[in-house]
Structure 1
């Protein structure tokens, strides 16, 4: 990998959580130069890059209402379009769809057909686009054949507000819904969440605490508002994760089924760095997908650095040699062009289809 340059474009928060400084040292020991990209400065003077690893979620979401973020995103897009030999991990359109739960849940809902042999599914759900009277919402829930309790999640799947969720136990409590959002049938899963972290062709399963079981069907219980981060962190200590009854241990997810799920999602998403939240239905033992995440924390994955470096290596192996890459970059700069595989243009309205 000598002579190859990888740019990282991350928020300060993501940079700290990933421990990028340690990864830079790790890469240096393997002959790979890592450059931290500053979006406020021209990218031409910071390049060239063989690969760019990024998580531009903050910028994309803020570009909905902030002209500075719009310009930063446009500058990044222009650079990538002008340098088609630079590989982007991951493509912006692919990543952007996971910022929108409406889009990602549509992908999840297709898994039942494509992975039928593995008994993998996702819970039924309802998209709530805008505010409406309570009776209309109740009718929509009935039409969609959703049963209580329901879990309500914001449409935008990024930022602190995206972790604010609620459990709704009756038709009358649907008044607590604040659109745009998703209503998803809650599946009892023994208070155990399995986070699947994907890095290229490798994946890792990490067990986390999760919501306890609740009786099926409507009840007069008040809506429960909670933050999913506080519930499912490794060190979480919440009343919501304490099972009320003794129940048999659930089997772990099938290794083969998880591998099939990852292969299918990599194909559908066109991404290499993402996470999948799965649970095991306590009644059917079905592997149930409840969320997909962009470039997650990889917390609890000690092999993350080596796996990421190996994936970057595999990407570089598919490229032309560094000398040819430099020539291509120079040519592309003077005459911008975008190949069909490198069309990373993203509209700032992508989240509002």
Structure 2
């Protein structure tokens, strides 16, 4: 109710869309804020979800003046870690010299141990490796593992991503983007591990549970003598967000970053589709400001178009 009052106080009516009903009768809409990630993922194997998605896309395509937060093609690429990691790698190349990087990674599509081991060696990935599912949404996407040697690669379950683990002092910085603004929230993270390879069983964990604000896990417990890693530079963070916004074409997303304990470089480890914004009390006011900006731009564009049309001989 507080959120509705906030929007109504600025002259914006908020309507909840029922995707099971014709959207035409529920509109018209100036702007649609959505999180259709569940529907997009389920549409791959569920005809009902595919129908809902088709109906939504039909409405959007026949109402070009309706602003969509965020475009479906942009959201789809963040549901696939193969695609999002390619984006991160591209960003690293674009921002060379800006103290921004991403760990080496490998896309795994086979369960052939010899092929995987050869690829890890060729790519010069260092142990431990963190293994993540290809699908970057849903409860399963949080199920990860730490692999400490070639022998541990038998625990890989393709399709997945293998990424060199970077020691970062057990501190994760979650960057929440809302249009032109971004907010950073500090969370617990995995502790430091010796650089391998070495003989240790694979560690399986849930990243969501490890990085909850109140998380207290043996996997996040640091030795008291471990030095504190410096926080990311605000300037570097702003550069990263600006480049990602341009590359993704999105306004609502999250970025998981860490600070390399050895190089103190900002290291991007994941991009998240429409995150929870937990710990960001300014989220709704920031979202409102961004929506107002979009609507004002839309109004100015329509006004210029109208003037151009009326002046046409």
Do the two structures share a fold, i.e. TM-score over 0.5? Answer: yes
Structure 2 match to 1:17: none
Distance 2:173 2:292 in 1: 28
The alignment partner of 1:194 has SS state of: strand
Matched ranges for 1:109-188 at <5 A: 109-131=89-111, 133-188=112-167
Q: 2:207 aligns with which of 193, 217, 228?
A: 228
Distance 2:212 2:110 in 1: 31
Count of residues paired in the alignment: 304
Q: Is the 8 A contact 1:169 1:218 kept in 2?
A: yes
Structure 2 match to 1:341: none
Deviating more after overlay: 240-249 vs 150-159: 240-249
Change (3 A) 1:316 1:144: same
The alignment partner of 2:162 has SS state of: strand
Deviating more after overlay: 312-321 vs 209-218: 312-321
Q: 2:284 aligns with which of 285, 291, 305?
A: 305
The Cα offsets for residues 35-60 of structure 1, whole Å up to 9 and x where unpaired, read as 00110000000100000000100000
Shift of 1:246: 1.4
Q: Is the 8 A contact 1:188 1:214 kept in 2?
A: yes
Matched ranges for 1:191-202 at <5 A: 191-202=170-181
Distance 1:253 1:169 in 2: 28
The alignment partner of 1:257 has SS state of: helix
Structure 2 match to 1:335: none
Shift of 1:71: 0.3
Distance 1:169 1:87 in 2: 47
Distance 2:193 2:24 in 1: 55
Q: TM-score, normalised by structure 2?
A: 0.95
Structure 2 match to 1:36: 16
The Cα offsets for residues 187-236 of structure 1, whole Å up to 9 and x where unpaired, read as 00000000000000000111000000000021111100000010001011
Q: Is the 8 A contact 1:112 1:119 kept in 2?
A: no
- CA-based RMSD of the aligned residues comes to 1.5
Distance 2:72 2:35 in 1: 9
Bigger RCO (CA 8 Å, 6+ sep):
1
Is structure 2 residue 257 aligned with structure 1 residue 257?
Answer: no
Matched ranges for 1:206-225 at <5 A: 206-225=185-204
The alignment partner of 2:135 has SS state of: coil
Deviating more after overlay: 87-96 vs 239-248: 239-248
Q: Which runs of 5+ in 2 are unaligned?
A: 307-313
Q: Is the 8 A contact 2:34 2:69 kept in 1?
A: yes
**Structure 1 runs of 4+ with >3 Å offset:** 321-324
Deviating more after overlay: 236-245 vs 301-310: 236-245
Is structure 2 residue 29 aligned with structure 1 residue 54?
Answer: no
Q: Is the 8 A contact 1:98 1:157 kept in 2?
A: yes
Distance 1:63 1:70 in 2: 4
The alignment partner of 1:183 has SS state of: strand
Shift of 1:321: 7.3
Structure 1 match to 2:311: none
Structure 2 match to 1:340: none
